[in-house]
Amino acid sequence: MDEVKVLLFDVFGTLVDWHGSIAREVHGQLAARGFAVDGAAFANAWREQYQPAMEEVRSGRLPFSKLDVLHRRNLDVVLKAFGLDHVDEAARQQLNFAWHRLDAWPDVTPGLARLRLKYRLAPCSNGNISLMADLARRNDWHWDAITGAELARDYKPKAVVYQCAADAFDCAPGEAMMVAAHSSDLAAAAAAGLRTAFIARPDEHGPGIGETSASVPVDVSANGLMALADLLGCR
């Protein structure tokens, strides 16, 4: 692993508990407005719109749009499906920016601090730059840069997103390692020439619903970022 200079991180699911955070926000904000809703079911339904919306961009059917824009389109679809299409505009805006207020898994902030002692760090997320900056401020992360979809003007798992992130650090792809809790993300990163590290997040989509091991070949596997820091010699 001596040639690796930068660690690039998936964010949703790998670093933050999007499911628990969104479920809490949806329940709290809609309940305060008198709407009864299953926050966990709503969170999953909203997330199910994620890949189809990005595929509209990846396929060229839509010009590049920031994830905040896609999340809002998806929110309107899900509110209608839940019989909540009368929710007002102010509530919709607050709900959409719940993605800027996601909480990190407990190991992430101390793990990133250790990894930063040896490597340069950046998110390589489908989230837009302002979203990544807000999550970093909320969770006390210190990035060396913010890379990902907005920089590449396309969405993972397109190779250009990973390659653009490595290039931002003047690195060859093999000098960058993608860190993610999703086998599909790591398979795409490896195909683009990056090294890969799998992080188990067994509760990503709710209790007991998440990947516990990689289904594709990876360079490193760990149960969290503190364990990854141990494996990579970050003391």
Residue 230, pLDDT score: 97
* SS3 label, residue 77: helix
Residues 10 and 185: beta-carbon distance below 8 Å: yes
Quick check: pTM over 0.75? Answer: yes
Buried b (16+ CB within 10 A) or exposed e, 219-235: bbbbebbbbbbeebebe
Answer yes or no: is 47 within a domain.
yes
**152: in domain:** yes
> End of a domain among 101, 134, 150?
101
Residue 79 pLDDT: 97
Residue 120 lies inside a defined structural domain of this protein:
yes
Per-residue model confidence (pLDDT) at position 32: 86
**pLDDT of residue 66 exceeding 90:** yes
The first and second tokens of residue 224, run together, are 């969290």
117 within some domain: yes
Q: What is the CATH number of the domain that holds 217?
A: 3.40.50.1000
Grade residue 1 by pLDDT with cuts at 50, 70 and 90.
confident
Domain encompassing residue 38: 18-101
